[in-house]
Every structure is written in structure tokens, then in C-alpha cells.
Structure 1
């Protein structure tokens, strides 16, 4: 296909479709993107982006990778790394060079690659791509410490691994093409001066500019995007792929600056990153030539086995001795190291260049990197969840609820949910109120849930839903509005009445979904508890169906949510929630039934069950041996 506009449209639609299907099926999106790229490219020959894009291919890929790394840097706050700084530092500075050295040796002696190709390949495979790690962490729900280590390593190692490969390539040029070593040393030092201090200076300047109001809100995101592209290009003029380090440092600098609009900027960059990741994986995979894949031989299996099961685990184990990690955390970090876009993109650049310079197996490096990328995406993508569960490093295996506001109502709800093994945590900034939750043996967090401390100290990945239930309806709306983009607008709920007057009603874009229909406020719920209302959990069975359940409830009872056998939660107030079915456990809020009425219901249900059982026995007795009951 040579129509570039149509090709880009197909890649964009296919990429986002793969992301959506992966979300629905709860599988790593990168796996589907890899499959789509293989189908579009080497399997069918439908497109070849490297040939079709021509000279634009390399700069477009480089710019897209820089934007992705900058967005990753925006997620790294130094407050988050305090507990894991030693481990991350050792993994980057000790494990990284060890992996480079051991991978180069394995590539030469096991993969039978020439030394130039093997050394450059070793530098590339230090990289553990954030484009793969981030989606995996989003689904895996790891505990804070291992998740933080994997995220920091992936983002920091991306530019460092690329620089390792660049240095190896430049050394090859010095040895074989007459380049002067003095020029190489000067170039590397000059590039580092631009990359690190330049990235810090650019990040601080933008932070100062945005915090002082020197740029209007509608221009902040475009200015940021232009600055990333510009800083990446300037550093690349001095040292190829050096711009990746610049934009990463720039992103980390801005992440640790107090900018009020940082959350909005981060969401904008995340949207662009999802689009770029989806498109790039398809483009890079579709650009693979069938003959490159066919060049893979039996040696690559031995190389993969050593890289996956020996080099990475050994390097991480040695680097993290005395780093304060448990053996479970070291085992998980030593295994999980999927490679992604940066390794593939840089391999394509240097592989073709080495081939042009006369290195016979230069193109084979592309095939080896693709093999590592494909295998690590599949193995690590599908084993992260089970392994973290086996090592007890998951924050929770079931969807949880974060409740903001401690009161008699929320504590009673939390106790009922906890009895059903639903993870629940109550957060409140008032000590006397949060003490009520602790006395009831409910997990509690004392502090302002909207604070930066909550963002870094609360493991929000274990909570799929939020309920804002304080006595301040405006604050409830604010909490839901703040957490909505992260948890999902359809998964944040609040209590409170809807104002009758248009002057007092909030805009429909503010707040979450009402927990009750019709809505109930804090004072009304408190009064209902005083009147004897409580929470009840009832499991539906074949004999006790939902219609029968409704008949047995006292007047005014509200069905709040139900828990499916899989552990999934369904809130009754959500649009399209449907009705509970057999096996679901209903959590309701309503008045107590009289004991005599309760006894009648239980007796009637028991009598009905016994009658059905008796009828079944009579039917079985009436069937003679060899006959089939009709």
C-alpha cells in the first residue's frame, strides 16, 4: 500500500482497536499490537512502512520515542522513589553494565554474531521499555515497591541503553573507519553536557514559565510538545539518540516541580503516548522483512534462554545484594524485563547502518532484537500476574473500593463489604472520625485524599471504585472530579441530593454518579441509621431468585451493588448495570424486618425447596432402569 494517508489511517484505527480489545479481554495490549503488525507486514505484505515512508521513517520514529520517554519521565516523582532509591540506583548503574557485558558475550559465543554486532546488541538489550511496562503494571496491580522499581528502571534505562549502543557504534567507527578517538570523546562529553544540564534547565524554565502564568492554559500543552521535539532534535545533532536522555531528564525535572497544571499536562501527554505507542508498535513490526525473520536459526533459542533465565536474573540478584529488597521482590524484578519500541527502533537504525558499512551480520541484529521483544512481551506479559500472585506481591486480587469520609454510614458499609472479602479502605482528614473506622477494624488512611502525600503513599491500583461520602456535598463532587480521569468517570460515586434550583445545581461535568436513586444526602442517611436501617448481604440461588428477593425486602430498601462469583462489583446506580443473577451476592441498605416476618420468609423458602426436592425424588423413582426421564 503506497497511499500514506490511508496507511496512517489504517494503522491508527487498528492500534486503538487493539488497545480497546485488550482492555475488554484484560490481556496486555502490546501482544495484540505485535500481532497486528506481523499480519500487516511480513505475513501478508500489506504494507512496509520503512519503504513507504522513505527518509521520514527514522526521524518520525525517533521523535515519537522521545515524546513517549518524556511522558514516562513526567510520572517519576522523587518522593515515590525514597524507599526504593538504592535498588533502582544499583539496577541502573550495576546491573545495566553487567547485562551489557554478559549479553554481548552470549551474542558472540552462542548467537555466533560478530563482535561489533554483539556489543551493540548487548547495549540495546539493557533497555526495558516503559511502553510495555506501563500497560503491564496498569493491569497487574503490584504492590508499591516492586511497581516503583520496574517503572523507574524502565524509564531511566531506556535512554541509557540507547547510549550504550551509540557508544559501541561510535567506537566501531573509530576502529574501522578512521574516525578520531579525540572527536568521539569530545562528542560524548558535549552531548552529555547538553543532555543532562540542558534537560534540567529546559524543565525548570518551563515549570517557571507555567507557574508564573507566562503562558495561557490553552498553549501549555503545545509549548511542552514543541519543547520536547526541539530538545530531542538539538541533542541528536551532537550525538545520535542522545536526545532520549535529554527529554527523559526534562520530564523528571518537571515531574518534581510544583506546577498546578501538571495533572492536566500529564493526561494530555498520556493520550498522545497511547496513540504513538499503538502506531509505533504496528509500524516497527510491519517494517520487518520476511527474510530477516527467516534468518533466525536454532542459535537464537539458546541466546534467548541465556538472556531470559541467566543474564537478567543474575545481574539483578548481584546488583541488589543489601538493597533492602525481599527475595520475592528480587525474583520478580529479575524476571520481568520486556523490551519494546526503543530497542526495536534503535536496532533498525544501527542494523541497517552496520550492513551498509560492510558488517555481514548487521541485519541479523534486527532479527535478534525482534525475537527478544516478541518473546519477552509474550512471556512477561502473561506471567506477571500469576507470578506476582504466587510471590504475594499483588496489592489485591479483587476489585476494591476507596471510601472518602468516615461516618457511621461508611463504617457500616465497609464492615459489610469486608465480610464479603471486598478490599475497602476509608480515608479521612479528621482524626476523631477516622478513629471510628480503626475501632471497627477497617483499613483506614488518615490524611487529605486530594494531597500529594496521598498520591504517593496510597496504593490506588488496588481500588477500582471510589465513593465520596462526606457531609460536604461540594467536596464529594471535587473528589469525584479529581479521581474520575484516573479511575474512570463511571466508577466514582458520591452521596448527596441534587439541588432543585438551577442556581444551586452543579454542572453535569462535575462530580460522580449518585450512589442512590433517588439521591440521598449525608443527614438523611445518618437519620436512617438512627431509625434502625442497616446493610444486608444476600446471595441469590436457583430457588431464591431476584424477583423473590425483592418480594422479601422491607419497603424502601435500596439495592446498592452486587458481587459476582468472580469478585466483580456491579453498582445498581450505574447505567446499564442490569439485574443480579444466580450466584450474585446483593448488598442492600434498608430497614430491619420484623423477626416473625423473617421467620415466615425463611420457612416459606425452606418449604418450597423441600417440595422441589421431593418432586425430583418421585420423578427419579418413577423411572425404571434403562429408561430416560422425559
Structure 2
């Protein structure tokens, strides 16, 4: 009963923290750590060691393996075209700078033996996707900065783990510098070879199985999960801690191959990632004891401060020297290096083994590592958003619209949205429509709406305005996986029925726009007649009722812009406030020679892409 209650509490706190982070617009990692501290050392409600026993290290290791695989499968090699040199330097030069500097600082300020300091320096090299991933989702960065930090976080985890294992082997097997160097180099070769070979083999095996249809659709997710865990475990069996490298390589290969579709597997792993990160971070902090606070002294405070203000900036500046990154991007990266699960797991394993062998001060390794993790997570989580805004590299909330169709109706709506300051991108595969959109000054692309090379920076919503109801439904199904169910909109089907739900069930469509009569043929017919798209500011003296009365109650409200400037589509499933102070965009019957604007009111904008600051 205690086990069930403990697991239930763990799941509840993890999901609650993620939900609160979403509602409060806070980094989820901060709330997860707070919940873990409250459940563990603060109240004693949860004791992960007693709850899981010997299974705890296994659960943590497998969870990290799944997270690294999921991170690898989302990496794209084409991103390295612009950031590859920086990523390479961060996982080589940056690792070396952090390792050496951290080891020296540990000797000077923590009074640890030399080899234990070298081991701690190796452990704190890692950052990891368990912490960087949630922060990057919270702080929207230019594409190059985001990609560089994501690549570094995923590749540095296995590298840091390998480094720590090799240092540990040197500590426990030899006291001779020459012999230690030999053990270190041979061990590195063995681990890299095992991880790379097994990762490639696992990816090839899965691709071949799926390509030949030897795995039915309903088994693809469980089969891939079992294969990831098998590759991880077998690689660790051959060379300790090489499993992290193996699953990372496996994920990168699978994510960049073009021969089989893996969308369902990727989505499944993304869902697992959110749950696993939630559980791992609560477990991490709940394991702390009040007695662990004894490691916090002036020396440890100086140690962590120098890691943040000296070591990380030095590693980034040396690694990014001569790169295309702007100085503001480099400064942001210099203050973004939270430590995570891998550091905690590795330190726990090695501290136990060293303590059993009687190594002096080995019991300080875990509390010091946890101190570094908690301080860096809280510090960087609190700093990330303000720093991005100060450096002017924070991307706005992706509230723009991807508009399916560039016909007359879509163009008039696009002009109104564009002139209201909303990001838009029209997509159509009819050249005449795109030519007209370009003449109107609208951002547009002559392409298929389902292509993967549409850049969506700043765009987070879909308006499916195609005359083809089936195309609209397919676009909704495709983009609800990229945006969110609440952010995909389509025109109601062109049918003479009171309830449009009789045509398409809810799970096969987006949110219906405007009102139940607003099918494409109806709206387009209005446009071809004397219809115009009108934008008006509502005031105390000119309310919506006055506006509607002026146009003989023929208006169809399309969008409302609230007092914060957010554009809200009018939908069948939600009421929208039309209060004074709001701006209304509506389709009306023109009066007194009125016309819709033929072009945008500002110079033509290029297709929206994620760009570095200039």
C-alpha cells in the first residue's frame, strides 16, 4: 500500500508541477524541484530510496536513456551547417575547460583530494536535455542559439558520463600516472566504439524492421522502446556507461534518415519525456536530507559562483570564437549551463563505490553534486527569460497564423491580420494565388502545406481557409501535432446542415471558424459581391452594436484583438468579448464606396524564418 501511495503521489506531483508551470508561464524545472523539496526533506512525505529500493538506480538510468534517445531523434544534421563548429568546440574545448577548471576550483575551495576533485570536475561537465529542454521550450530563442544549446546538451551527457567513468577507473585501479593515462585512453576508445557501433546497429535494425513491415503499427512504439532499452543495457554491459552514447547515436540516425516514417514513435517518446523528466526531478530532490546541507559553507558557495560567472563563460567564449553567433547569443549561452539527472546518477554510483573502498571524503561527492544541480537549475531557470529579453534575443510568443490558401478571401483576411501587427504566412500550390499575394505584399510560399521545410518561427496557429474541406481537415490533423488542438482552426464544411458535427467528428477536425454558415462558398460569395474585410476600434461611444447596426446587421465577426494585442479568432465553440477597447476584424457589406485594402500598409515582409539577431 505504501508503494502504491508513493508512486501515486509522485505521478500527481509531477503532472501538477508541469500543469502549473504551463498556467503560470514558469520553467517547469523550478516547480519540479520545489515539489521535490517539499515532498522530501521538508515534509518527509516521500523517501525514494525506501520506496524503490535497489530499483531506483535502474529506473533513473533507463529514464535518462529514453530522454537522450528522444533528444537525439529530434536533432537535425542540417542545423550543424551554421552551428556545427560551435557544437564541436563546446563538446571538446568546452568540456576540457570545464573539467580542468572545475577540478582546480574543487581542490582550492572544497578541500577535496586531487583525484576526487578531478572526478567531481568530470561529473559537473554535463548539462543534459532533462534541464535544457524544458528551459528552451519556456524561453524562445533564435534558431541558431536554440539548436546549439540543444545539440550541446544531448551530446555532452554521454561524453560527461564517459569521462567520469574513466576518471573513476583510474582512481580505483592505479596510482601510476603513466598507467592511469593508458587506462584512460583505452577505456575511452572502448566506450566510444561500443556506443557508436551498437547505436548504429540498433538504428539500422529498427529501420529495416519497419521498412519491411515486420512490425505492425500497434507494436512500433513498444518495440522501439524495448529496443532502445536493450541497446542501452547491452552497450553498458560491454563498456560501462557507453549506453548513453549508444542511444544518442541511435536517436540521431533515426531522426535524420528518410526511408521510413517515424512520426508516431517520435510523438510517443515526446510524451514519455515529459513524464520521465517530471518523475526524475522530483525523485532527485526528494532524496536530499537535511544533513546534506552541511556541505554548504563559504568554500562551496565560492565554488558554485565561480562555475557560473567564470568557468562557463570562458568555455563558451573559447568555443564560439570566430563563429557566426552574435555576441548577444554568446552571452546568453555563457549563462546557460544547468546540471541535471546524469550528474546526480553518476555521482551517486561512484560515491557508493568509493565509500565502500574506503576512499577519503567520498561521502561529500553526492551532496556537493546535488548542491551544484539545485543552485544551477534555480539560477539559470530564473535568469533565462530576463536575460533573453535584456539581450533582445527572445522570440515573441508564436501567435502568428499559417494560412492555408492564398485566394481572394485568404488575401483579404491576411492583409487585415498583417496590418494589425500579426505574423502570417500564406501557403498555396496555385501560382496565380501566390503571385497575387506577393503583389499585395503578403508573406507567402508556393508549396504544399504538408511539406517539412516551412519555417514557423513566430507562427503558432493554423487557419485552414482552403475551398477543399478535405484538405482543411488534413491540414488540421497535420498541424495539431505541431501546434496544439486549441490553435488549429478551419472553415465549417460547405453543407446545408444545422450541426456541422454531423459531417466531421471532433477528433478529425479543428475548431470551426466564425459561425455555422461561414463555409468557404458563403464567405467567398460575399467577397465577390460587395463584401469587404473591415477593421474597427470599439469604443464607449461606438460599440459593437453600433457597428453592426451601421452595416445593417450583415457583419460576420472574424477576429478580435484584445487590449494586449493578441488576435483571437471568432469560433463556434467559444464566445469572444466585443468590449470597448478591443479591435474587431469583420466581413461586412460595403457601404458608400468602401473597399478592402488591396495591399498591406507596410513594406513587404520576407517569409518568417528564425534568424540570429543582427
Please, what TM-score do these two structures have when normalized by structure 1?
0.88
8 Å Cα contact 1:425-1:442 kept in structure 2: yes
* Shift in Å, 1:544: 4.2
Matches within 5 A, 1:521-532: 521-532=519-530
3-state SS of the aligned residue for 1:465?
A: strand
Equivalent in 484, 489, 493 of residue 493 of structure 1: 489
Task: Please name the residue that 1:205 is paired with.
Answer: 205
Structure 1 position 116 matched with structure 2 position 112? no
Aligned to 1:475: 471
1:209 to 1:540, Cα distance in 2 relative to 1, 3 A: same
- Deviation of 1:311 after TM superposition, in Å, equals 1.0
Report the alpha carbon displacement of residue 229 of structure 1 after superposing the two structures with TM: 1.0
Name 2:597's counterpart in structure 1: none
Which stretch has the larger CA shift, 308-317 or 132-141?
Answer: 132-141
| Alignment deviations for residues 458-515 of structure 1 (CA, whole Å, 9 cap, x no partner) | 1x35222111222322222111101102211121012252545999944442232222
Q: 1:547 to 1:32 in 2, by over 3 A?
A: farther
Which residue is equivalent to 2:71? 72
* TM alignment of 1:372-411, pairs within 5 A: 372-397=372-397, 399-411=399-411
Matches within 5 A, 1:499-538: 499=495, 505-538=503-536
Contact kept? 1:292, 1:363, Cα under 8 Å: no
| Aligned 8 A contact 1:554 1:590 in 2 | no
Q: How many Å separate the matches in 1 of 2:35 and 2:538?
A: 43
Deviations 1:80-135 (A, max 9, x none): 33222222122222212211111111222133332233222222222122122222
For normalisation by structure 2, the TM-score amounts to: 0.90
Query: How far apart in 1 are the matches of 2:575 and 2:302?
Result: 51
Cα pair 1:403 1:468 within 8 Å, conserved: yes
Distance 1:461 1:352 in 2: 47
Offset of residue 443 of structure 1: 2.3
CA drift at 1:365: 2.7
Choose the corresponding residue for 2:569, options 558, 568, 571: 571
Tell me how far apart the structure 1 counterparts of residues 575 and 164 of structure 2 sit (CA, whole Å): 52
Say what the alpha-carbon RMSD is for the aligned residues. 2.6
What residue in structure 1 maps to residue 36 of structure 2? Answer: 37
Question: Is the counterpart of residue 10 in structure 1 residue 16 in structure 2?
Answer: no
Post-superposition shift, 1:525? 2.8
In the TM superposition, residue 425 of structure 1 has moved relative to its aligned partner by: 1.9
Q: Is the 8 A contact 2:490 2:513 kept in 1?
A: yes
Provide Cα deviations, 1:238-271, integer angstroms capped at 9, x if missing partner. Answer: 3332211111111111111225441111111111
Q: Distance in 2 between matches of 1:249 and 1:520?
A: 50
Partner of 2:611: none
Q: Which residue does 1:628 correspond to in 2?
A: none
Relative to 1, partners in 2 of residues 1:380 and 1:412: Cα closer, same or farther, differing over 3 Å? farther
Residues matched between the structures, number: 591
Structure 2 vs 1, CA of residues 499 and 132 (structure 1 numbering), >3 Å: closer, same or farther? farther
Q: Distance in 1 between matches of 2:295 and 2:243?
A: 32
Structure 2, unpaired ranges of 5+: 595-614
**Which residue does 2:371 correspond to in 1?**
371
Cα separation, partners in 2 of 1:387 and 1:55, compared to 1, 3 Å: same
Which aligned pairs between 1:460-471 and structure 2 lie closer than 5 A? 460-471=456-467
1:542-595 CA-partner distances (Å, limit 9, x unpaired): 444445554445423111221222233332206334423343222222222448
- Does 206-215 or 587-596 show the bigger shift? 587-596
In the other structure, the counterpart of 2:599 is: none
Other-structure match for 1:236: 236
| Residue aligning to 1:580 | 578
What is the Cα deviation at residue 18 of structure 1? 0.8
Cα 1:540–1:503 change in 2 (3 A) is: closer
Equivalent pair of 2:548/2:554 in contact (CA under 8 Å)? no
User: CA offsets per residue over residues 398-441 of structure 1, 9 Å max, x none?
Assistant: 62112122122222222212222222222233443223223222
- Helix, strand or coil at the partner of 1:441: coil
Per the TM alignment, residue 160 of structure 1 is displaced from its structure 2 partner at its CA by: 1.0
Query: In the aligned structure 2, how far is the partner of 1:337 from the partner of 1:563?
Result: 38
Query: Could you tell me how far 1:360 is from its partner in structure 2?
Result: 3.5
Greater RCO, CA 8 A, separation 6+:
2
1:320 to 1:188, Cα distance in 2 relative to 1, 3 A: closer
- Distance across 1 between alignment mates of 2:548 and 2:235: 68
Aligned residue for 2:138? 139
Quick one: structure 1 residues 543 and 51, their matched pair in 2 at CA, closer, same or farther if it must change by over 3 Å? same
Whole-angstrom CA distance in 1 between matches of 2:177 and 2:376: 38
1:354 equivalent in alignment to 2:354: yes
Runs of 4+ in 1 over 6 A off after TM superposition: 177-180, 501-504
State the secondary structure of the residue aligned to 2:565: coil
Distance 2:368 2:183 in 1: 31
Aligned-pair distance for 1:180? Answer: 7.7
Question: Once the 2 structures are TM-superposed, how far is the Cα of residue 352 of structure 1 from its aligned partner?
Answer: 3.0
1:145-184 equivalent positions in 2, closer than 5 A: 145-175=144-174
Cα distance in 2 for residues equivalent to 1:105 and 1:90: 21
**Contact 1:332 1:387 (C-alpha < 8 Å) held by counterparts:** yes
Contact 1:495 1:519 in 2 (8 A): no
Partner SS state of residue 396, structure 2 = coil
Q: Deviations over 1:321-342 (max 9, x none)?
A: 1222221221122222222222
Query: d(CA) in 2 for partners of 1:429 and 1:394?
Result: 33
Cα offset, 1:33, TM superposition: 0.5
Q: CA, structure 1 residues 519+250, in 2 after alignment: closer, same or farther (shift >3 Å)?
A: farther
Question: Is the CA contact (8 Å cut-off) linking 1:554 and 1:592 kept in structure 2?
Answer: no
Aligned pair in 2 of structure 1 residues 464, 244: CA closer, same or farther (>3 Å)?
Answer: same
Q: Which moved more, 1:316-325 or 1:263-272?
A: 316-325
Structure 1 position 527, deviation (Å): 2.7
Paired residue for 1:621? Answer: none
Deviation at 1:529, TM superposition (A): 1.8
- The corresponding residue for 1:589 is 587
Q: Assess, with a 3 A threshold, how the Cα gap between structure 1 residues 220 and 500 changes in structure 2: closer, same or farther.
A: farther
Label 1:567 to 1:190 Cα distance change in 2 as closer, same or farther (>3 A).
same
